[in-house]
A and B are shown apart, each in its own frame.
Chain A
Amino acid sequence: GDSVTQMEGPVTLSEEAFLTINCTYTATGYPSLFWYVQYPGEGLQLLLKATKADDKGSNKGFEATYRKETTSFHLEKGSVQVSDSAVYFCALLKGAQKLVFGQGTRLTINP
Chain B
Amino acid sequence: NAGVTQTPKFQVLKTGQSMTLQCAQDMNHEYMSWYRQDPGMGLRLIHYSVGAGITDQGEVPNGYNVSRSTTEDFPLRLLSAAPSQTSVYFCASSFDRVTDTQYFGPGTRLTVL
Contact = CB atoms under 8 A, between A and B. Distances in A.
B77 interface: no
A42 B37 CA distance: 12
Contact of A99 (B45, B49, B50): B45
A101 B103 CA distance: 15
B42 A43 contact: no
B94 A97 contact: yes
Contacts of B44: 101
Given A43-B106, A43-B107, A102 B101 contact: no
Nearest to A44: B104
Contact of A101 (B43, B49, B50): B43
A99 B33 contact: yes
Contacts of B48: 96-98
Contacts of A97: 31-33, 45, 48-50, 92, 94, 97, 102
A96 B43 contact: no
B33 A101 contact: no
Contacts, number: 66
B27 to A, nearest CB: 14
Interface string B89-107: 0101010011101111111
Contacts of B40: 103-104
A37 to B, nearest CB: 11
Contacts of A46: 101-103
B98 A43 contact: no
Contacts of B12: none
A98 B98 CA distance: 9
Interface string B49-67: 1100000001000000000
Interface of A: 4, 32, 36, 42-46, 49, 51, 89, 91, 93, 95-104
17 contacts: A42-B106, A43-B105, A43-B106, A43-B107, A44-B92, A46-B101, A51-B99, A95-B98, A96-B50, A97-B31, A97-B92, A98-B45, A99-B102, A101-B35, A101-B43, A103-B41, A103-B42
Given A96-B97, A102-B42, 6 more contacts: A43-B90, A44-B92, A95-B97, A98-B45, A99-B35, A99-B43
